[in-house]
Amino acid sequence: MNLKERIEAVEAEIAAAVATSPEAVEAFRVGMLGRNGKVTALLDAFKEVPAEEKRVWGQRLNQLKNAARVRWEELKAHAETAPAEKSSEVDLTRPALTEHTGSLHPISIVRQRIVDVFARIGYTVSQGPEVEDDHHNFGALNFPADHPARDMQDTFFVQDLVTSSEVPGVSSSAVENDAGALALRTHTSSVQVRVMEGGEPPIRTISPGRVYRNEAISARAHCMFHQVEGLYVDKGVSFAELKGTLDHFAKSMFGPEVKIRLRPSYFPFTEPSAEVDMNCTICGGSGCAVCKHSGWVEIMGCGMVDPAVLTNCGIDPEVYSGFAFGMGVERVAQLIYRVPDLRLYWENDVRFLDQFTVGAFRG
């Protein structure tokens, strides 16, 4: 059996596991996660995986380990509350079994809140593909041919992905098929290009969605995250309106006492461009690790849409102007929920996920 088959076999066994007594639950744990357990054996086998495949198998094995842990917790909870098998008497004093109701993921809660703030001031919601072509992700947005973001270091090219025939779920026909310059979108600005190409101003839209960048995974960076980007194109749109809109957003999201400041910055698709800071909600401005003791935290990038981008998208820059902005949902969530480690959002540990309810949102 190769590694894939071994993982699948253990996955199936985890999914099918039953245990009605604490002893059986413990046997499941030892059999899977103990020193000689099946999951532990597979994790050991990871050492033999060639370096270039480590990322894929590492993720897969982590999922397996989590699945075993989650199943173990479930079996444990069930064994604790299940009636003793042999007892024929009904114990009416026994507390009722509680159903686990599940909850929205914190990123979903925060994304929806961001969308609501903009929907209330007339923005529509646009979506686009996560596998994007060079034109929509880079070209139309004025990225020069040698821009570093187009580098493999920063962008996941689909061509690169399908050459590894070991990647689960990728068919060999996709490998043979020349996928061209397709990439996983690095931002949802690509959706705004699609909206501009497909419609006439006035355009007022936000594009929430998942984006991908080729970053090493750590507490502060991840290879996938979520953005909400916004675009407003009309006659006579000004920078003052951009600032007013973002101020309104920050106050709606974080409270009326919040202030923003704009720092000059650079993006290929906006001119002028700015980075938006907000006073740190975690320490109230007195200085902490999140704001690196400056009292300010960066929450998004923004700027006036570069006339060249409007032209690329079939909009006359002599008639229309526009502004755009983009923020990371994980970043906003961090400032609200104070989650210190980005990896927690992807681990699907119910002990983490259970802490977030829509009602507990403090905005």
Side-chain half-sphere CA neighbours of 76 within 13 A: 10
Closer CB to ligand PHE, 32 or 191, in the complex:
191
Name the residue nearer to ligand PHE (CB basis): 261 or 338.
261
Closest contact distance (angstroms) between CB of 136 and ligand PHE is 12
Sites for ligand PHE among residues 311-340 (CB under 6 A): 324-326
Binding segment for ligand PHE (CB under 6 A), chosen from 4-12, 156-164, 198-206, 298-306, is: 298-306
Q: How far is the CB of 175 from ligand PHE (least distance, A)?
A: 30
Interface with ligand PHE (CB under 6 A), residue from 161, 301, 306, 342: 301
Q: Which is nearer to ligand PHE, 57 or 269 (CB)?
A: 269
Cβ atoms of residues 38 and 31 within 8 Å: yes
- Strand ranges across the sheet with 260-267: 124-125, 203-212, 224-234, 321-328, 296-305, 270-279, 260-267
CB of residue 156 vs ligand PHE: minimum separation in angstroms?
15
Using the contact rule CB under 6 A, the part of the chain among 55-63, 277-285, 297-305, 341-349 near ligand PHE is 297-305
Q: How far is CA 95 from CA 90, 240, 357, in A?
A: 12, 60, 25
Tell me: does residue 303 bind ligand PHE (CB under 6 A). yes
Q: Extract long-range pairs of 120-124: CB within 8 Å, 24+ residues apart.
A: 121/245, 121/248, 122/204, 123/204, 123/205, 123/206, 123/230, 123/232, 124/204, 124/205, 124/206
Site for ligand PHE in 195-254 (CB under 6 A): 229
Give the chain's radius of gyration (CA, Å): 25
Q: Which is nearer to ligand PHE, 107 or 302 (CB)?
A: 302
Residue 5, token pair as written in the block: 């088959």
Shortest separation between residue 296's beta carbon and ligand PHE, angstroms: 18
Residue from 273, 115, 123, 138 nearest 193 by CA: 138
- Please give the angle made by the CA atoms of 204, 149 and 245, to the nearest 5 degrees: 25
Total binding residues for ligand PHE by CB under 6 A? 12
Choose, by CB under 6 A, the member of 205, 270, 281, 334 that binds ligand PHE.
Answer: 270
Q: Give the residues lining the site for ligand PHE (CB under 6 A).
A: 187, 189, 229, 267, 270, 273, 301-303, 324-326
